[in-house]
Structure 1
Amino acid sequence: MSLLDGRTALVTGAGGGIGRAIALRFAEEGAAVALHCRTAFAAAGETAARIRDLGGEAVVLRADLADEDACLRLIGETTDWSDGRLTTLVNNAAVQPVQPLPGMTAAAWRSVVDTDLTSVFACTQAAAAHMRGHGGGTITHIASIEAGHPAPGHAHYGAAKAAVVAHARAAALEYGPDGIRVNTVSPGLIQREGLERAWPDGVRRWLAAAPTGRLGRPEDVADACVFLASPLASWITGHDLVVDGGVTARPTW
């Protein structure tokens, strides 16, 4: 038996590195996976094809999660594809532009908050309404260590991720009686193609600060999500699981 046999999972933002890794790990553990994307349809399709090649079930669904109605449609399309089953939601979709706070417009602020926070609210509410009548389920939000350790140029992103952590705790409280567990995973700096070239100083500083001496891998985040969705975490809800190689354990003075 694999950890997620018989489960159906929806992973938002599955066209990117972390979302792709989460979808693959869920499939490896036996879950049927709906991969959401907004524009990265080809990348999500490649991941879905890989899952099918491994003998799993996968579908790609498109939606702009800044639109509440699109979030509702996405949950409906997932349950239609899975014959009425949705046991696991991973709210991973997010944007992370760099914009200094003094010159940030309200429109720029809202574009990040709507994508990174309001979509989490809308998708969670719709998924939980379905899970309530089908024996419960698990919901995991991908937050960030920037929820508590903001970085320059990321005021909107850090504020949204802090709210995502708070939302998960509130949702854990209110949906717990329905058999729904809600948690967050807060990654640190995760490896992606071209990162060392784009931000060499930041990578150098991270490696010097991390007790484990490396960047995170998308698979590190995916493993945390599998754990929280599995029976191994059956008494864990309202928790923020930090996956950062120990960076936030380092003193700042």
Structure 2
Amino acid sequence: MPDGVKLDLTGTATLVTGASGGIGRGIALRFAEAGSAVAVQYHHNREAADEVVHQIEEAGGTAVAFAADLTDDAACHDLVRAAATWAGRLDTVVNNAGIQPVEDLPGMAADSWNAVIRTDLTSAFSCTQAAAGVMADAGGSIIHIASIEATQPAPGHAHYSSAKAALVMHARAAALEYGPRRIRVNTVSPGLIDRPGLATDWPDGVRRWQHAAPLTRLGTPADVANACVFLASPLASWITGHNLVVDGGVSARPTW
């Protein structure tokens, strides 16, 4: 959290999908910093996931890495059960795993569309369903990482934008149906999040973003992570079905 701001999640357990790098890594580290035991899910990059676990343990936290192919429904259920068994409980699931290919819609193959939907949307459905079963009536917090592209599509991202828009609606529907079981479901929608080399790879896009954003900078994984920790904390105990936009204010800029 920012200096002077601390949320205490000691005694809780969190599963973060897609936690081997980028935004997922930042989320896992922030939950561990807040005192939560963290299950770090990865698909292929075990070395990166182990590094996240090592970093958490070096700081005095508790973490473990689990491999899972989240495009497989059974694997999602196995992952959630394994995380809950490891920690002895499961309080929060952050559905962060996803892919973001660029492909023009007119020539997009159905296989490309389906790959994004399975990875970015259906995996969250499966992990949420599994988590709700594990949390039972003890309650918990489920957080989907969506995107401002859920409402503002970008060229070449039709599959991605559609999946993220559906994530926002899935969270609202899940909040409605799981609420009586004290399970809260929300989304966090980031704007452009910085990564090493982004300014070199996409200098025009970075300049345009900095000009458009009222806060004048790109986001960081920590910005997204802070929003997730807040939604998982007791401070958000009466917040569910909400889409928390974390974009430096760029969505406030007129589009005409």
Does 2:152 align with 1:132? no
| Equivalent residue number for residue 65 of structure 1 | 70
Unmatched runs of 5 consecutive residues or more in structure 2 = 1-5
| Equivalent residue number for residue 3 of structure 2 | none
| Equivalent residue number for residue 89 of structure 1 | 93
- Contact 2:32–2:61 under 8 Å retained in 1: yes
Q: C-alpha distance in 2, partners of 1:12/1:144?
A: 16
- Contact 2:41–2:67 under 8 Å retained in 1: yes
Identity within the alignment, %? 65
The one-letter amino acid paired with 1:66 is T
Residues 193-204 of structure 1 mapped to structure 2, 5 A cutoff = 193-204=196-207
The one-letter amino acid paired with 1:49 is H
Does 2:239 align with 1:239? no
| Equivalent residue number for residue 217 of structure 2 | 214
Q: C-alpha distance in 1, partners of 2:236/2:45?
A: 31
- Figure out how many residues of one structure are paired with residues of the other and give that number: 251
- Where 1:189 maps in the other structure, the secondary structure is coil
- Contact 2:7–2:233 under 8 Å retained in 1: no
| Alignment equivalent of 1:123, drawn from 121, 127, 142 | 127
Deviation at 1:151, TM superposition (A): 0.3
- Where 1:9 maps in the other structure, the secondary structure is strand
- Contact 1:3–1:231 under 8 Å retained in 2: no
| Equivalent residue number for residue 27 of structure 2 | 22
Question: Which is further off, 234-243 or 196-205?
Answer: 196-205
| Equivalent residue number for residue 106 of structure 1 | 110
| Alignment equivalent of 1:8, drawn from 13, 28, 34 | 13
Residues 143-158 of structure 1 mapped to structure 2, 5 A cutoff = 143-158=146-161
The one-letter amino acid paired with 2:90 is L
Residues 172-183 of structure 1 mapped to structure 2, 5 A cutoff = 172-183=175-186
- Where 1:182 maps in the other structure, the secondary structure is strand
The one-letter amino acid paired with 1:131 is M
- Contact 2:81–2:134 under 8 Å retained in 1: no
Deviation at 1:118, TM superposition (A): 0.2
For residues 117-140 of structure 1, give each alpha carbon's deviation from its aligned partner in whole angstroms, at most 9, with x where no partner exists: 00000000000011114x110000
Report the RMSD for the aligned CA atoms in angstroms.
0.9
Deviation at 1:3, TM superposition (A): 2.0
| Equivalent residue number for residue 168 of structure 1 | 171
The one-letter amino acid paired with 1:5 is T
Runs of 4+ displaced beyond 3 Å: none
For residues 139-183 of structure 1, give each alpha carbon's deviation from its aligned partner in whole angstroms, at most 9, with x where no partner exists: 000000000000000000000000000000000000000010000
| Equivalent residue number for residue 233 of structure 2 | 230
Does 2:9 align with 1:39? no
What TM-score do you get using the length of structure 1 for normalisation? 0.98
- Contact 1:143–1:187 under 8 Å retained in 2: yes
Q: C-alpha distance in 2, partners of 1:209/1:14?
A: 29
